[in-house]
């Protein structure tokens, strides 16, 4: 079985894979003396190729791996990065150390092994460098900023590279597909605020956690509009005492699969009923 994981050059200092081959987008930023990888994909094999391709392209070592949140398609490929500094928001680490999360993911890892060579060798590895609100990593005149916002999950973060006006959004953005907004720790208000914060930063390029890249801050408008419209639908449903099965979703990203739609509706209903 041939496993590939090519990296597309986005700017002179940034690369990404947005093909879905690793089940989630990942990429990296080259500073002057080292690289920073962003998310590790779902698999050890693709995580390994990601690291090798980063170091080969830029001819400098990977020194950090940034984990934007705790979902498996962003953390299960960490093993090839065990010798570098793996970092995340403090809340992401807490979620990963939670016994319920660990138990659920051990089952997930066993199921992935059944996929054949691509799913082999996974280890559950928790980030070791933690931050609360913001972390800056600087190398000579270049630096990245990592912002913990919550939203998609309680620990969700995004990475900004001001020098080339690029933002790696993690799963705060799903492009051209109905977003996964039904995680038990999802906070809709924080999600909207995170999207608005990224738009205010006026980047040239936004790399989502899933789907193709977005160009320009205005490309976030429909994502923000979707979230606000969905929030209004949910609040109206609560006021009108509607059942979940009678609630629709905005059609900006098309009709989602039934499971993702139901998870979103039920989670947002519970969130706003208890707010």
Give a yes or no: residue 262 inside a domain.
no
Give a yes or no: residue 203 inside a domain.
yes
Give a yes or no: residue 269 inside a domain.
no
The answer to whether 261 touches 233, Cβ cutoff 8 Å, is no
Residue 150: what are its φ and ψ, rounded to 5°? Answer: 70, -170
CB atoms within 10 A of CB 19: 12
Number of domains in the chain: 1
Length of the chain: 275
The pLDDT averaged over each successive group of 10 residues in the chain (275 residues) is: 87 97 95 98 96 98 98 97 98 97 93 88 95 98 98 98 98 96 98 98 98 98 98 97 94 90 97 92
Domain range for residue 94? 8-217
Could you give the CA distance from residue 192 to residue 150 in angstroms, rounded to a whole number? 10
The answer to whether 3 touches 46, Cβ cutoff 8 Å, is yes
The answer to whether 65 touches 86, Cβ cutoff 8 Å, is yes
pLDDT of amino acid 2: 72
Tokens 């990592």 correspond to 146
Give a yes or no: residue 264 inside a domain.
no
Q: What is the Cα gyration radius of the chain?
A: 18
Give a yes or no: residue 174 inside a domain.
yes
List the CATH number of the domain containing 96. Answer: 3.60.15.10
Give a yes or no: residue 240 inside a domain.
no
pLDDT of amino acid 43: 95
Q: Measure Cα distances from 135 to 18, 25, 91, 198 in Å.
A: 25, 22, 14, 16
Which of 71, 128, 77, 82 has the alpha carbon at shortest distance from 104? 71
Give a yes or no: residue 132 inside a domain.
yes
Give a yes or no: residue 234 inside a domain.
no
* 3-class SS of residue 142: strand
Which of 204, 202, 207, 225 has the alpha carbon at shortest distance from 215? 204
H/E stretch holding 139: strand 134-139
Is pTM beyond 0.85? Reply is yes
CB atoms within 10 A of CB 194: 26
């Amino acid at each position: 079985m041939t496993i590939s994981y090519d990296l597309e050059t986005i700017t002179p200092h940034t690369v990404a894979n947005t093909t879905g081959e690793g089940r989630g987008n990942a990429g990296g930023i080259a500073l002057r003396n080292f690289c920073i990888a962003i998310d590790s994909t779902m698999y050890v094999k693709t995580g390994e190729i990601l690291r090798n391709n980063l170091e080969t392209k830029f001819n400098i070592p990977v020194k950090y791996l940034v984990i934007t949140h705790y979902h498996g398609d962003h953390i299960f490929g960490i093993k090839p990065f065990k010798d570098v500094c793996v970092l995340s928001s403090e809340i992401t680490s807490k979620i990963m150390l939670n016994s319920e999360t660990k138990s659920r993911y051990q089952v997930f890892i066993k199921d992935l092994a059944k996929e054949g060579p691509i799913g082999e060798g996974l280890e559950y590895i928790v980030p070791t460098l933690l931050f609360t609100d913001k972390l800056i990593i600087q190398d000579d005149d270049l630096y990245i900023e990592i912002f913990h916002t919550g939203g998609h999950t309680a620990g969700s973060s995004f990475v900004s590279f001001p020098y080339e006006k690029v933002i790696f959004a993690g799963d705060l953005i799903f492009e051209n597909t109905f977003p996964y907004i039904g995680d038990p720790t999802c906070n809709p208000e924080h999600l909207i605020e995170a999207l608005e914060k990224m738009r205010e930063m006026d980047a040239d390029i936004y790399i989502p956690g899933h789907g193709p890249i977005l160009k320009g801050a205005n490309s976030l408008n429909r994502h923000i509009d979707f979230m606000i419209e969905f929030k209004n639908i949910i609040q109206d449903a609560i006021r009108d005492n509607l059942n979940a099965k009678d609630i629709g979703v905005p059609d900006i990203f098309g009709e989602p699969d039934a499971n993702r739609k139901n998870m979103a509706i039920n989670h947002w209903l519970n969130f706003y009923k208890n707010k």
